[in-house]
Amino acid sequence: MSLFLGLDGGGTGCRAAVADASGRLLGSATGGPSNIASDPAGARANILAVAAEALGSHGGLSDLHAVLGVAGANVASCAAQMIAELPFADTRIVSDAVIAVKGALQAGDGVVAAIGTGSVFAVQRAGAIRQIGGSGLVLGDEASGAWLGRALCARALRARDGFEPETPLLSDLIARLGGTDGVIRFSLSARPVDFADFAPLLVTSSDPATLALMREAAGEVEAYINLLQQGQNLPVTFLGGLGPTYAGLLDGRWPIRPALGSGLDGALWMARQGVAA
C-alpha cells in the first residue's frame, strides 16, 4: 500500500500528516524545529519523530513517499544530505513557500501573496512556480509586519526632526520607547518579530501617519502582484496574518480567492500527486 507523508516545518516546530492513495488522512503529529541548514541533526530527529507518530501502526517509515517543506531547503547541499539520511521510500525537500502555493492553489494557476512577519510572493502557471521577494527585513520583506514596524519607527524619528507631520500615534510611539534615544536603542537590537509587534497599531488606526504607511505598503504589494501577473488577470490568494488586510485594501484589482488549504495540505497533496516543484 502506498502511503504519503507531508511535512511543514521551520525554526520553531513542524507538523506532519500521513494519508493513503485515496487521500484518507491516517494520522497527524506536531514536533520540534526542522531547520535542515542550522541544525540538521535536530531536524532529522524531529522529522523522524513526527513521521513515526503520524504513521502510527499503518506501516513502516520505508513505506512513506514524502514531501518536506522545511527551513533551509534553499541550501541544496543540506537538502541533498538530509534526503540521503532519511529512510523514506522517496523524499523531496522544498521550501515552505512552495508548499504554501501548492496548498493554496493545488494545480490551479494563480498568484499567492504571503504576508506576515515577512513577505513572499509567488505565481503558479501550469504547475510551475516562480517566487519573488522573501529576502528578509534587511533587504526586503516589503509590506510585511516587520517592514511596517520599522517604517513606523523611522517615520516617528523623521517627524521629531521636522521632516514629517507629528501625529498622535508617532508621538505615542516615541514616548512608549523612551524618547528618540529609546527608539534608536530599540532599533539596534530589534528582530523582525519585534518590529512586527507594531503592525497591529497600523492596521487598526486612523492616524494620518498610519494611513500613509498603509497606502505605501499596499502599493508595494500591488507592484509585486502586478509583476507576477505579467498582464494577466490571475486570481490572487492572500496568506499570512496581514493577508486579509491587504486583500481588503486591494479589493477589485484582481479576482481574490481563498486558499484551498494550508502549507501542510500542500505538502501532502504534492506527495500524493508526485508533483515535482
Burial of 169 (0-12, 13-18, 19+ CB in 10 A): buried
Same domain? For 201 and 134 the reply is yes
Same domain as 249, residue 188: yes
> For the chain, how many structural domains are there in total?
2
CA–CA separation, 61 vs 203, rounded Å? 45
- If asked whether residues 17 and 40 sit together in one domain, one would say yes
Q: Is residue 116 domain-shared with residue 243, that is, in the same domain?
A: yes
**Cα 83 from chain centre:** 23
- The secondary structure of 79-141, three-state, reads HHHHHHHCCCCEEEEECHHHHHHHHHHCCCCEEEEEECCCEEEEEEECCEEEEEECCCCCCCC
What's the whole-model pTM score? 0.84
- How is residue 121 written as a grid cell? 510572493
Residue 218, classed as helix, strand or coil, is helix
- Among 87, 90, 17, 86, which residue's Cα sits nearest to residue 58? 17
Predicted pLDDT at 143:
95
* Pair (202, 269) in one structural domain: no
Give the max Cα distance, the chain: 70
On whether both 29 and 95 belong to a single domain, the answer is yes
Show pLDDT as tens, one digit a residue, over the chain (277 residues). 789 999 998 877 899 999 998 889 999 999 998 889 888 999 999 999 999 999 999 999 999 999 999 988 888 899 999 999 999 999 999 988 899 999 999 999 999 999 998 898 999 999 899 999 887 888 888 999 999 999 999 999 999 999 989 999 999 999 999 999 999 999 999 998 899 999 998 888 999 999 999 999 999 999 999 999 999 999 999 999 999 999 999 999 999 999 999 999 999 999 998 744 4
Element (H, E) at 164: none
Q: What pLDDT is recorded for position 173?
A: 93
What pLDDT is stored for residue 276 in this prediction?
A: 46
> Is 100 in the same domain as 37?
yes
Q: How far is CA 206 from the centre of its chain?
A: 27
Same structural domain, 94 and 158: no
State the CATH number of the domain containing residue 71: 3.30.420.40
Instruction: Write b or e for each residue in 206-241: b if 16 or more Cβ atoms lie within 10 A of its Cβ, otherwise e.
Output: ebebbeebbeebbebbbebbeebeeeeebebbbbbb
Let me know whether 138 and 250 are in one domain: yes
Asked whether residue 97 falls in the same domain as residue 151, the answer is no
My answer on whether 113 and 33 are in the same domain is no
User: Is residue 62 domain-shared with residue 133, that is, in the same domain?
Assistant: no
Distance of CA 214 to the CA centre of its chain: 20
Range of the domain at 212: 108-258
